[in-house]
Structure 1
Amino acid sequence: MHAEEVKEIIESQLENSQVITAGEGCDFQVTVISEQFNGLMPVKKQQLVYQCLNEYIANGTIHAVTIKTYTPAQWQALQG
């Protein structure tokens, strides 16, 4: 699997999200920026992203994934 495929999977399931991916093979780093994360605890944010990838983790296509999640406001604050 390629990083671009991981990006497409997450973006197709988390509407209006921005996804930045890195990695290849079965080990990926994923940054997800989404309004859906507003008001959620960090673990719940990660669960939303894992739900998108569970099928691929279960069948071994993805072995390891590191997830960072941000609201658009949090992401903008990091960039400034």
Structure 2
Amino acid sequence: MNDQDLINRIKQLYPDAEITVAGESCSFEVNVTTPAFDNMKSLQRQRSILTLFNDEIASGELHALTVRAKTPQENQ
């Protein structure tokens, strides 16, 4: 996987999200900011992103994915 693969997958679920990615190969950190997180708890936000990559995590293609999920207000 690469940065753009991660961004594209997240954008399918959250098209209006601002996304930054750090890392390489099989270990990444993603920062996702979207108003869609307004009524979600932190764990719900993270799970919604991590679920997108269940197959890659299970297969080992993606070893580590750290998710930081915030609303625009929290990101100011």
Q: Same fold (TM over 0.5)?
A: yes
Aligned residue type for 2:58: A
Q: Deviation per CA, 1:19-41: give whole Å up to 9, x if none.
A: 11111110001000111110211
In the alignment, structure 1 residue 21 sits paired with structure 2 residue 21: yes
Q: Percent identical across equivalent pairs?
A: 26
Displacement, 1:61? 1.3
Aligned to 2:3: 3
Displacement, 1:55? 2.0
Aligned to 2:61: 61
> Can you give the 5+ residue segments of structure 1 that lack an aligned partner in the other structure?
none
1: CA distance, partners of 2:19 / 2:9: 10
Structure 2 length-normalised TM? 0.88
Count of aligned residue pairs for this structure pair: 76
More deviation, 10-19/20-29: 10-19
2: CA distance, partners of 1:10 / 1:61: 17
SS across alignment from 1:47: helix
SS across alignment from 1:15: coil
Displacement, 1:15? 2.7
Structure 1 length-normalised TM? 0.84
Aligned to 1:37: 37
Displacement, 1:46? 0.4
User: What RMSD over aligned residues (CA atoms) do the two structures have, in Å?
Assistant: 1.2
